[in-house]
Structure 1
């Protein structure tokens, strides 16, 4: 008998995890609309509001930037642990299943990255998760310590890059590769040409060409900011949470969790404000100056704890029945997170690029935040309607069918 994990049924799902996925998708949408809108503080568009936008942008840095992809990373590791827990035993068959699942995840994420929007995170998550699968049989203590060290590793990496520039070779090489691709297309460089092409072109093929050309820059950025070890570290901690059933254990001590959450918010919200409002200096960071090292140290120490405080806050709130009633519609977005994530990219292209309505450089932070609320509200309605008739989101269904090597039933059985 095969030991491959079977698909999770709706009754077996942990609603809290679906809620977190849904909330994380909303936070990621707000962060990503900044890039879709081709926003620049120097541009005055129809929906830009000067000083108000500056304040809103700062608040987004404090409360949103990096926090929700961190939560998403934790959830991904947690989900892999649940898949393994559902297996009769963790053997070569289970590992093969997990790797097959990740290959097809990378395939779908790669299609999103190379043909829709280069800012994709799914491909990266799939790639990094191969390491998680390889480490899955280590002790809980080893996984937890490794996860923490990986979260702190950007500090060491940044210091090494300051001392020995060759350490940044992967990023430098990918940046030069991106420049060659731009030259091949007859464009000047990314900063000069990207906005113009996306704004003025009305053809899908031009968008695809830009996305393909930007892919090396995307990976160069991931190496430059040491995103890869941070994602793996968060995944390992999520895997630890899932394998030890930590969520159920700590929620038996709600008062302790409540106090820790309050302390976490009181301490780490101001520290994240200090990180974004005082220490942030992109020029110093990318030129490997000492200010960039200070920023890296602070980022490594204050972002992850605030993400955890968000998670425990939602866990406590979700214990209240009346709050569950309010938040339950968001679960559908979490259950169809992959589809909704890609759908957000398509909406961003349609709204902001020349191939759609061409509203690029017209939205400031306040406006794109309101736009995110409207888009997410639409996704809540559409996701709930979809799940009235279907078991999975469309991309989730394709992914599952590929993984299980068999077309999975999509429609819900009639009563």
Structure 2
């Protein structure tokens, strides 16, 4: 390569990685696993008798309050933030090397969308990759926006659009997700099954491959119907835009080093998030479309991230154990889905509805500990995880270097 010739396009080299963000991504992935477990266990669609069996030795009302206060929505907030931050970092790195950053980013999102579609249709209907990829195509629209305007857009999508949308839809008697729910019922009916007579735990948890295929054929519609109802799509876009802003601060050396800013995010997030989430946990309706969830989820999730980064210099030896998991976020996220299917669905062990929720979380701890060990082992021998390597090959056309993970 001659002097002045642009560097070849390709993933960012390993020396450009930021270990604290890898660890934060690993932390977010752990939280997402914990938040997904009640679905696999069967809690959302269990009968009263099944709920008693699932509760076992714990008070289910207390568990529900804990889940809503601590877990629900907080960790996808962190993941979405890191995704937007990663866009800012990747575009900067590519353009500094003379590459067409936007073209490569769009290829990257197209590849992620394909992986997400395979995931949501074939493995698990709770997929988040399709949403991230679809919204990722919108991020370049904001790349020339000033910091102040970007913050305004982020807050508008994060709070203004969902709050106004819920209020307007309620006043007009509109249920945004209803058409998708109706479509799901029609798909089920077309396969000769009466949706109203399905007992979900018996159907997918204890059924075979036919039941699993039927479940997956409609799960995507229920998934996005719920996301329309609770306005998660707007909230995720708003959080991604906050991540873009954080990425700009990071590139200027004003994020990880700016402890005053991190303390402001931590304290502000707790001041807003804790009262709102206490209301969400204890006052009906316990819905992600309630004012308490719309107002409190993102600030508390951001407070988690700020607390993690503030603790990083003092607890790097411990928190750094999560870095390999974060570096292989795509591989580990997909692995969690496969393992969840094999443990809880009828195509595997069929444990849905048969394991007390306390033991379900014990399984999660074992699974995540295994992912820490396996990720560390793999990265000692390879430069990136297997799905990360595939994603980059789909993006760049040939394997090369290390590159940034799912959300960076």
TM-score by length of 1: 0.88
- Cα distance in 2 between the residues matched to 1:172 and 1:130: 26
* Counterpart mapping for 1:267-306 below 5 A: 268-282=273-287, 295-296=290-291, 298-306=292-300
- Cα distance in 1 between the residues matched to 2:339 and 2:124: 11
| Corresponding position of 1:116 | 123
Q: CA deviation at 1:3?
A: 7.3
- Cα distance in 2 between the residues matched to 1:281 and 1:164: 22
Q: CA 1:196–1:260 in structure 2 vs 1: closer, same or farther (change >3 Å)? A: closer
Is 2:349 the counterpart of 1:339?
no
Contact 2:111 2:395 survives alignment (8 Å): yes
May I ask how many residue pairs the two structures share in their alignment?
394
Q: CA deviation at 1:231?
A: 0.5
Q: CA deviation at 1:11?
A: 2.2
* Counterpart mapping for 1:240-251 below 5 A: 240-245=245-250, 248-251=253-256
Q: CA deviation at 1:253?
A: 4.5
SS at match of 1:245: helix
- Cα distance in 2 between the residues matched to 1:31 and 1:312: 20
TM-score by length of 2: 0.89
2:219 equivalent among 201, 214, 219: 214
Q: CA RMSD in A?
A: 2.5
Q: CA deviation at 1:86?
A: 0.8
Contact 1:101 1:403 survives alignment (8 Å): yes
| Corresponding position of 2:29 | 25
1:157 equivalent among 165, 184, 202: 165
Q: CA 1:41–1:376 in structure 2 vs 1: closer, same or farther (change >3 Å)? A: farther
Contact 1:44 1:362 survives alignment (8 Å): no
2:236 equivalent among 221, 231, 256: 231
- Cα distance in 2 between the residues matched to 1:172 and 1:80: 33
Contact 2:269 2:300 survives alignment (8 Å): yes
Is 2:5 the counterpart of 1:11?
no
Q: 1:116-144 CA deviation, whole Å, 9 max, x = no partner?
A: 00100001100011111222222222211
Is 2:178 the counterpart of 1:172?
yes
| Corresponding position of 2:373 | 381
Q: CA 1:265–1:363 in structure 2 vs 1: closer, same or farther (change >3 Å)? A: farther
Contact 1:48 1:367 survives alignment (8 Å): no
| Corresponding position of 2:406 | none
* Counterpart mapping for 1:12-411 below 5 A: 12-39=16-43, 40=46, 42=48, 43=50, 48-49=55-56, 51-88=58-95, 93-152=100-159, 153-166=161-174, 168-169=175-176, 171-189=177-195, 192-203=198-209, 205-245=210-250, 248-254=253-259, 257-258=262-263, 261-262=266-267, 264-265=269-270, 268-282=273-287, 295-296=290-291, 298-320=292-314, 323-408=315-400
Q: CA deviation at 1:165?
A: 3.6
Q: 1:152-208 CA deviation, whole Å, 9 max, x = no partner?
A: 111111111112245x45x221111111001011222178253332123233x5423
Q: Which moved more, 1:233-242 or 1:6-15?
A: 6-15
- Cα distance in 1 between the residues matched to 2:54 and 2:274: 28
